[in-house]
Every structure is written in C-alpha cells, then in structure tokens.
C-alpha cells in the first residue's frame, strides 16, 4: 500500500488531532503517503483532499477539535454520492481510508467497504457509545470536564442547600453520566439504559435530605427527559431551590487528557499497521487495554456495547 487517506467525521471529539497525527506519522515512517480529507464525507465528495507531511501535524497533539474539520453530510447515505467520493479517492491514487468518528461515521465507512473500498474505523466520540471498544477517543477528556463542572456545582449547591440536575451528553449511552457521577460523587444518576421512576427519585432525595445532606446532585444523560421540568418537579416536591444545568458543547472542547492522547496515538498507529498487513474493513477497539480489531460490518450489524452494571451499581452503593 502506497497512499492512504484520513478524515474525521460527525461530532468532533478531543483527541481526534492526536489520532490524525499518529496516522500520518506512522504511515510516513513506513514510506506510505497520507492525504488529509477536509470536512469529513462532505469534503470527500467535494474533493477537498490535500497531501500531508510530518509538519502538517506539528503542534496539534494538545489541541481539541479536529484540524481536518468535520461535517454532517446526510447525502452520503446515497450510493451515487458515495460512488463519486470513491472516484475522487481513485483519482488521487488513495488506496484506503482511515475514518475517525462515531457510529454514523462508521456506517459511512461500512458502506464504502461494502462497495469494495477498504476503510478502517477509529472510534472518535465523547459518548463512548461504540461497540467493540471499552473506550472511545474523547470520552476521558469529556469525563474530566463533566467532573469539574460537578465539583463547581457542588460548591455552590452546598452553600445554598440547593439541588442540581446536571445534563450530560452520551446520546443513548449512559457511560459519561455514570462515570461522571462516580468521579464527581453525585447522589443520583439517570441513564437511558435503566430509565427512572420519578416517585423513586423523589423518595431517594427525601431520604438524603432526612439524613442531613446539604445538597443533591443528579447526573442525567441527555434525551431521557426534560431536565428543566424535572428540576421544577423536584423543587415543588422538596421546597428546595432546584436548578438544571445543561453542560452542552462545553463537553466537546478542550485540550485532550493524557489518556485520550495516548489512546488516539495507539489507535492511529495501529490502523496503519492493519493496512500494511492488508486488512481493510476493520474497526479498532481497546479491550482490557489491548488494541483489537473487528470486522466493521459485523461491528455495526451485530455487536452491542455491554452496559456497565458495576459502575451503575456503584453509584447506588456510594450514594
């Protein structure tokens, strides 16, 4: 293999830059040319393709976001659009593509692979919602951001005897909410995998107040319920001031943690090794701290993320 491409797609995540850098430097070290595709599948279709060298990725390991840009490009679901994208890759002589992104981006990579164009998927999302890996690139950084936000809310909640409802990202995966709840010492966690009953939550809050707690922090994954309405309900029930804080895109930004940088670097270099080894249509994961790869089609169609019961139970034990 002589030429490969790399792109970032979908929601951006801290650590994507470290992954791009690793792909480029690992490939160049093996005599492979690397082309960067700007703005994800959109740029692939519009031929925004540029040859990159070692210097192109200087000073980016510490930066959040993605230097290649990302985009949502629903038209990529159409086969004719993907065919045009493949024609662009062929025109540049690019033989394989490393796609860094979330499950939507994996879907695009899977479809290219099915059309005979080999792709390697790297899990880049703060949501940790990709099958076949214990951790995704960006999750650890987002977790630290959420933990710090909880710490700050705790200070002011304790002083004012206030209840805080903190909405965190994760789409339909409760990992970020659960991990943040444990790390931040939150009293309650609500995740989509388990759902929640309002009466039970209110009873637990009552119990906490009766035991002398000066605050309550409820960590909740997005899309479960309207957090402002939930805060109103809690305030009405307890008579204590209750505020909802939606952390939003703050969770996506910032300098990646050491853990994310290392994960991204390992995965990026591993993707290049797989391509050199003649493997295409794979996605990379981390299992018990070992790098692994799966068939990308199997990953999307059949594999499921196991729910972290231990972490969930821990939030209850430590309440």
Exactly one of 14, 69, 101, 285 binds ligand ADP (CB under 6 A); that residue is: 101
Exactly one of 33, 103, 134, 167 binds ligand ADP (CB under 6 A); that residue is: 103
- Pick 136 or 257: Cβ nearer ligand ADP: 136
CA R_g for the chain: 21
Cβ count within 10 A of residue 168: 31
**39 is annotated as an active-site residue:** no
Helix (H, G, I), strand (E, B) or coil at 216: strand
Minimal CB distance to ligand ADP: which residue?
Answer: 104
- The Cα–Cα gap between 264 and 284 comes to 11
- Pick 65 or 101: Cβ nearer ligand ADP: 101
Q: Does 248 help bind ligand ADP (rule: CB under 6 A)?
A: no
Q: Is 249 annotated as a binding residue?
A: yes
Long-range Cβ pairs for the range 87-90 (8 Å, 24+): 88/44, 88/45, 88/47, 88/49, 89/5, 89/44, 89/49, 89/117
Q: Does 74 help bind ligand ADP (rule: CB under 6 A)?
A: yes
Q: Is 251 annotated as a binding residue?
A: yes
Using CB atoms within 10 A of its CB, is residue 307 exposed (0-12), middle (13-18) or buried (19+)? Answer: middle
The count of chain residues that interact with ligand ADP, using the rule CB under 6 A, is 18
Q: Cβ of residue 167: shortest distance to ligand ADP, in angstroms?
A: 19
Exactly one of 9, 144, 157, 308 binds ligand ADP (CB under 6 A); that residue is: 9
If we measure between CA atoms, which residue out of 170, 141, 149, 132 comes closest to residue 16?
141
Q: Cβ of residue 262: shortest distance to ligand ADP, in angstroms?
A: 22
Using CB atoms within 10 A of its CB, is residue 299 exposed (0-12), middle (13-18) or buried (19+)? Answer: buried
Of 110-139, binders to ligand ADP (CB under 6 A) are 111, 125
Catalytic one among 39, 47, 59, 127? 127
- Pick 66 or 164: Cβ nearer ligand ADP: 66
Q: Does 285 help bind ligand ADP (rule: CB under 6 A)?
A: no
Q: Is 166 annotated as a binding residue?
A: no
Q: Cβ of residue 157: shortest distance to ligand ADP, in angstroms?
A: 32
- Pick 10 or 69: Cβ nearer ligand ADP: 10
- Are residues 131 and 287 in contact, defined by beta-carbon separation less than 8 angstroms? no
- Pick 82 or 266: Cβ nearer ligand ADP: 82
Q: Does 188 help bind ligand ADP (rule: CB under 6 A)?
A: no
- Are residues 50 and 20 in contact, defined by beta-carbon separation less than 8 angstroms? no
Q: Is 82 annotated as a binding residue?
A: no
- Are residues 112 and 97 in contact, defined by beta-carbon separation less than 8 angstroms? yes
Q: Does 41 help bind ligand ADP (rule: CB under 6 A)?
A: yes
Exactly one of 20, 68, 73, 138 binds ligand ADP (CB under 6 A); that residue is: 73
- The Cα–Cα gap between 218 and 163 comes to 8
Q: State the DSSP H helix or E strand holding residue 198, giving kind and residue range, or none if neither.
A: helix 198-210
- The Cα–Cα gap between 309 and 267 comes to 26
Q: List contacts with ligand ADP (CB under 6 A).
A: 9-11, 41, 72-74, 76-77, 101-105, 107-108, 111, 125
State the catalytic residues. 127
Annotated binding site: 11, 21-25, 72-73, 102-105, 125-127, 154, 162, 169-171, 185-187, 213-215, 222, 243, 249-252
């Amino acid at each position: 293999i002589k030429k490969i491409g790399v792109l970032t797609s979908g929601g951006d995540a801290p650590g994507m830059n470290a992954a791009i850098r690793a792909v480029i430097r690992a490939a160049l070290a093996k005599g492979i040319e690397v082309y960067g595709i700007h703005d994800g599948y959109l740029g692939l279709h519009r031929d925004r393709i540029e040859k990159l060298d070692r210097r192109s990725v200087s000073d980016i390991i510490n930066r959040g976001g993605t230097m290649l840009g990302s985009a949502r490009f629903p038209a990529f679901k159409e086969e004719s659009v993907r065919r045009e994208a493949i024609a662009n890759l062929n025109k540049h002589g690019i033989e394989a593509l490393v796609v860094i992104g979330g499950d939507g981006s994996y879907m695009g990579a899977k479809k290219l692979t099915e059309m005979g164009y080999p792709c390697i998927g790297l899990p880049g999302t703060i949501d940790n919602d990709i099958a076949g890996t214990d951790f995704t690139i960006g999750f650890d950084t987002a977790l630290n951001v959420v933990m710090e936000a909880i710490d700050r809310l705790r200070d002011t909640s304790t002083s004012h005897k206030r209840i805080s409802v903190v909405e965190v990202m994760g789409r339909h995966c409760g990992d970020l909410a659960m991990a943040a709840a444990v790390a931040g010492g939150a009293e309650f966690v609500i995740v989509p995998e388990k759902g929640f009953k309002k009466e039970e939550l209110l009873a637990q809050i009552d119990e906490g107040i009766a035991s002398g707690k000066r605050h309550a922090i409820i960590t909740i994954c997005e899309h479960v319920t309207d957090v402002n309405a939930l805060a109103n309900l809690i305030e009405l029930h307890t008579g204590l001031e209750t505020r909802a804080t939606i952390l939003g895109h703050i969770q996506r930004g910032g300098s990646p943690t050491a853990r994310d940088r290392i994960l991204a670097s390992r995965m990026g270099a591993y993707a290049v090794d797989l391509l050199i080894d003649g493997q295409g249509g794979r996605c990379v994961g981390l299992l018990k701290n070992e790098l692994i790869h799966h068939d990308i089609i199997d990953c999307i169609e059949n594999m499921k993320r196991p729910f972290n019961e231990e972490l969930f139970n821990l939030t209850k034990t430590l309440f």
